[in-house]
Amino acid sequence: MHLSVTLRSEIVKRVRAFFDARAYLEVHTPRMVALPGQEPYLSPFWTKLHDIHGGAFDRALITSPEYAMKKLLASGLEKIYDLGPCFRDGEPTDGSHAPEFLLLEWYRKRADLFSLMDETEDMLRFVGRGLRDAELAPPFRRMTVAEAMKVYAHIDLGEILEDREALAALVIEHGGTVQTEDTWDDLFFKIFLTEVEPNLGWNHNKTIWQPTFLWNYPLSQASLAAKNPEDSRYALRTELYIGDLELGNGFQELTDAEEQRGRFLEEIRLRESLGKQTWAMDEELLQALTQLGKVSGLAFGVDRLVMLLAETDKITHLTNGL
């Protein structure tokens, strides 16, 4: 099954060719940093750096190159991409996660979320040519989280967006369980993961792919995305689904340092409540954000794309070819 090893090499070449042709600069940001991101549900690998005087310093492997790339954007670069290994500890062994995986991340100044989606579609058609042309050719579906909840779960998201009790009642109605510790997001996912997500990347009878951008997320799931200026309860975030896989996560980036600082504090607080290790905020990053202007970026799972094209359900096939 060395097919998937050689296929991965070809896909990576095509990805580079796509961005190079569009005048993106490939950057190679550090894999090992002092201050990794503090997303509450990601666990970086930690190690120690030693100097010649016997001093030891904590270092972490990156879970994504985001922070370093944003600092590069702040220093004046316009269009950049980074394609390299990233590392995440504690992920489920469900076939689509590996502790080390190839992540593509790109950023473009003066681009909004929709141009980012357009570019992602173009990239997929270019990279997948000759492999799954028929399914990648039609325009990708674009659905807001609210639309998806309506279509697949028959729920009006706007009505329960700020109402945990109403959402809890719906979870029970939909056959789920509710525990007092469940947050609004936990309850949302109990319905979303059961009834919505398995259907997003497929046509209505699940026989062929229907690549779909899910976008306009509730603010609690905004992460580093800017608020939607037309409805500040939602954020300009998108995820791409093809078949059963989530391939990418993109934002029109939040560039308000104070709001970002607030979100980082929230993350740290949540990490603490989950009994997880926390560390200092990256102040350099916060500084850099103020100089970015409108910018959009997307993190894309290259290994998962190869899995789809190689028709395998095991990400490990790509690295050991077995």
- Which residues contact another protein by CB under 8 A? 39-42, 91-94, 97, 175-177, 179, 181-182, 185-186, 189-195, 197-198, 221, 223, 239, 246, 249
CB of 150 to another protein, least distance (A): 19
Please give the backbone phi and psi of residue 213, each rounded to the nearest 5 degrees, phi first.
-90, 120
CB 70 within 8 Å of CB 257: no
- What's the alpha-carbon Rg for the chain, to the nearest Å? 20
Instruction: Please say which residue, 178 or 257, places its beta carbon nearer to another protein.
Output: 178
CB of 260 to another protein, least distance (A): 15
At residue 157, what is the residue type? L
Supply the DSSP string of 85-108, one letter for each residue.
EEE-BS---SSS--SEEEEEEEEE
Supply the DSSP string of 199-260, one letter for each residue.
HHBB-TTSSSB--EEEEEEEGGG-TTBPEETTEEEEEEEEEEEEBTEEEEEEEEBP--HHHH
CB of 41 to another protein, least distance (A): 6
CB of 94 to another protein, least distance (A): 5
CB of 223 to another protein, least distance (A): 5
Q: How far apart are CA 165 and CA 235, in angstroms?
A: 23
DSSP annotation of 24: P
List, edge to edge, every strand of the sheet that includes 32-33.
Answer: 32-33, 56-61, 46-50
At residue 246, what is the residue type? E
Instruction: Please say which residue, 82 or 182, places its beta carbon nearer to another protein.
Output: 182
Instruction: Please say which residue, 81 or 300, places its beta carbon nearer to another protein.
Output: 300
CB of 192 to another protein, least distance (A): 7
Length of the chain: 322
Instruction: Please say which residue, 108 or 237, places its beta carbon nearer to another protein.
Output: 237
CB of 78 to another protein, least distance (A): 27
Instruction: Please say which residue, 132 or 190, places its beta carbon nearer to another protein.
Output: 190
